[in-house]
Amino acid sequence: MAEHEKQMPTFTDDCSDVIWPNLQNGEKPLIFVTHDESIFHAFDGQGRQWLLASEQPLHKKEAGLALHVNDFFVDVCGRLTLADNNVATNDECAKEACEIMKPDKNYNGWWTIEDLAK
């Protein structure tokens, strides 16, 4: 990674400006892209409930339906998206790299390498 960092942009202390690297002849800038994913379940909440003294708590036996959120982040511009002026000329591409799916055998299935490529 240290070898590649020489070709990556850096930022001012307050992150307000990008500082592009001085590249050698034939070198191209390298942009660091990260992937982030999270799964949110319907019954992820706290284990506390407001009950009357005579009531018994009811707990779900499973985590419930889930949302699987996958997104890509680029250090120089934030979330990976097409610029507005490129959207019209790339109608086969999604405007955003973010993918929200319902993982389960009965919904969208599971995140696969094909989903990543898409």
* Span 75-107, pLDDT tens digits: 888 888 877 777 767 666 677 888 888 887 777
Q: What is the CA radius of gyration of the chain?
A: 22
Q: In the prediction, which pLDDT does 76 show? A: 82
Contacts 24+ apart (CB under 8 A), 18-22: 18/76
Percent of the chain with pLDDT over 90: 17
pLDDT digits (tens, 9 = 90+) for 28-40: 999 999 988 898 8
The structure's pTM equals 0.63
pLDDT exceeds cutoff 90 at 47: no
Q: Is the pLDDT of residue 7 over 90?
A: yes
